[in-house]
Amino acid sequence: MLADRPNIVLIISDQHNKHVMGCSGHPYVETPNLDGLAAQGVRMTDVYCPYPLCAPSRAGFMSAQYPSDIDVYDNGGSAFFSSQTPTFAHALGAAGYEAVLCGRMHFGPSDPFHGFERRIHGDPSGRAVSPEILGSGLNRTNGQTRYAVEVAGHGRNGFQAFDASVTDTACEFISSHKGDRPYALVVGLMLPHNPLICSHEDFEYYYEKTPTPEPEPENYLDRLHPALRRWRERRGVDALSPEQNRRAVAAYLGLVAELDRNVGRIVSSVGEAADQTAIFYTSDHGDMCCEHGMWWKSSFYEGSAGIPLIASCPGRFGAGTTSSSIANLIDVGPTVLDLASAPPLPDVSGNSFLRLLEGGEIPDWPNQVFCEYSGLLGDQPACMIRAGNWKLNYYSEFDSCQLFDLSTDPEERNDLAGRAECSVIVNQLKARIHERWSADDILEAQARQQRAAKVIRGSRRGARPHDVEDFVPAEDSDNQFDFSQLPAKPVGLE
């Protein structure tokens, strides 16, 4: 019998393409543990991140607000995620839950807790993929650089070691938990975030399964929106060969398989308390994984802006069901609070979709979400809206947009923005964006933060470190990569 106030385990990975799971229909990847979780609960198919970049999306996740509402615009902006902003961790604590964070959350150094009562494992250190890890050869491979794809292959990187450590710590907490208070454990995993380096066994297995990606159709780039042409040019993806993309896809699938095994360990550790525990799985954003010939995040395509979401709660959520209701990562916190009978967060954009998970209806559910973006590699402010079957991406740099009908064009190949018959819906969706979002306001806020950041960075040089230690992998066992496996010497950014 499910307790009225169940224990809650919320697993959030990093950069997981929602299409790359067996339960979402991927033809090659094997994810038996995520598939099993979906078979026991609900898989939501149309959930989006609030921002396709780590720190802003996670700040939105914790606060149930869009990043522009809390002034977090890039990964460095985590320093500006105010400790005065209420999070769902604060509300869980107010409801009597033991709110615990284990692993990745990309909080800034000034506040590593943001409402959590305890933090039993820190974030990965910046040294996890850097020259300080001797002999790794993996520096620059955790960002959006062509080099990260060029050196894809097998080995072991610091993020794999990090996830193994986080998983061990989470399993120990769950299996040994005692006491009268229910717990809410948020487990932050790094995989399948690049470096695109997976185990030798996984790489060989998925390399054999993965076909060489087909080149984009002739004149494809000429037909792309100029914002996306600029995106590709800045990251150098058009110079990648089909073989390099194939190796990178195989490595990404291998990392997802490793992620799945870690999820399986965490779920198994619940053991006999399964009927008193709700389990959620999601990710901060996706990864293009060579869809449209692109990699990483920072775009509004489904592979980047869409996220997986699976929720299991025995006796309360329907088993083996799916929901196509449109939701956002900022809705997860309110849903968890609703499930825990905790006080709701005030003045937020996120909404609880608990009734949807329980098989009911929410008559006034908006079925509309936004996704914002700004600031990496010179990218200018942009905003996406998904409303019903329509998806519009607005690019302020060009004051123009893309429009897709996802009911007939799920791969987003047919941009309808220039069609006369679509002008009404284009204007309606653009108006909804501009009701709540301003590129000028964002640019002004970013400029203020950049000026402030110069002072903050200088002040930290002599600061006492906080009590939560970042994870640094062992030099003799992690971050090992054999460049001899590559068919040709990798070429760095030009």
Residue 12 near residue 186, CB atoms below 8 Å = yes
Q: What is the pTM of this model?
A: 0.91
User: In this structure, are strands 321-328 and 368-373 parallel, antiparallel, or unpaired?
Assistant: unpaired
Bridge partner list, 384: 371, 393
Q: Please give the chain's pLDDT, 494 residues, in tens.
A: 456 799 999 999 999 999 999 999 999 999 999 999 999 999 999 999 999 999 999 999 999 999 999 999 888 765 678 889 999 999 999 999 999 999 999 887 778 899 999 999 988 865 544 444 334 455 566 778 788 888 899 988 888 989 999 999 999 999 999 878 999 999 999 999 999 999 999 999 999 999 998 877 778 888 889 999 888 888 888 888 899 999 999 999 999 999 999 999 999 999 888 889 999 999 999 999 999 989 989 999 999 999 999 999 998 998 999 999 999 999 999 999 999 999 999 999 999 999 999 999 999 999 999 999 986 656 789 999 999 999 999 999 899 999 999 999 999 999 999 999 999 999 999 999 999 999 999 999 888 888 887 776 666 555 555 555 565 665 544 444 444 444 443 333 22
User: In this structure, are strands 42-48 and 197-198 parallel, antiparallel, or unpaired?
Assistant: unpaired
Residue 213 near residue 246, CB atoms below 8 Å = yes
**Residues with Cβ within 8 Å of residue 126, at least 6 apart in sequence:** 470
CATH number at residue 141: 3.40.720.10
199 within a domain of the structure (yes/no): yes
491 within a domain of the structure (yes/no): no
CA nearest to 259, candidates 186, 400, 160: 160
**Residues 421-424: contacts with CB within 8 Å, 24+ apart?**
none
Residue 184 near residue 92, CB atoms below 8 Å = yes
18 within a domain of the structure (yes/no): yes
Q: Where are the beta strands (DSSP E) in 221-305?
A: 277-283
Cis omega (within 30 of 0) on the bond before 195?
A: yes
Query: What is the Cα–Cα distance from 447 to 367, expressed in whole angstroms?
Result: 33
302 within a domain of the structure (yes/no): yes
Tokens of 60: 């939105």
pLDDT of residue 126: 59
Residue 111 belongs to domain spanning: 7-485
pLDDT of residue 472: 60
- How many separate domains does the chain show? 1
**Residues 172-177: contacts with CB within 8 Å, 24+ apart?**
173/100, 173/102, 173/120, 174/9, 174/266, 174/269, 174/270, 174/273, 175/269, 175/271, 177/7
425 within a domain of the structure (yes/no): yes
Query: What is the Cα–Cα distance from 111 to 105, expressed in whole angstroms?
Result: 11
Crossing angle for the helix pair 200-209 and 242-270, to the nearest 10 degrees: 120
Measured CA angle at 221 (ends 216, 222), to 5 deg: 135
Q: Where are the beta strands (DSSP E) in 434-479?
A: none
| Ordered DSSP codes for 356-406 | HHTT---TT---EEEEEE--GGGPPPEEEEEETTEEEEEETTTTEEEEEET
Strand order in the sheet with 400-405: 368-373, 382-387, 390-395, 400-405
**Residues with Cβ within 8 Å of residue 459, at least 6 apart in sequence:** none
116 within a domain of the structure (yes/no): yes
**Residues with Cβ within 8 Å of residue 276, at least 6 apart in sequence:** 2, 3, 6, 7
494 within a domain of the structure (yes/no): no
254 within a domain of the structure (yes/no): yes
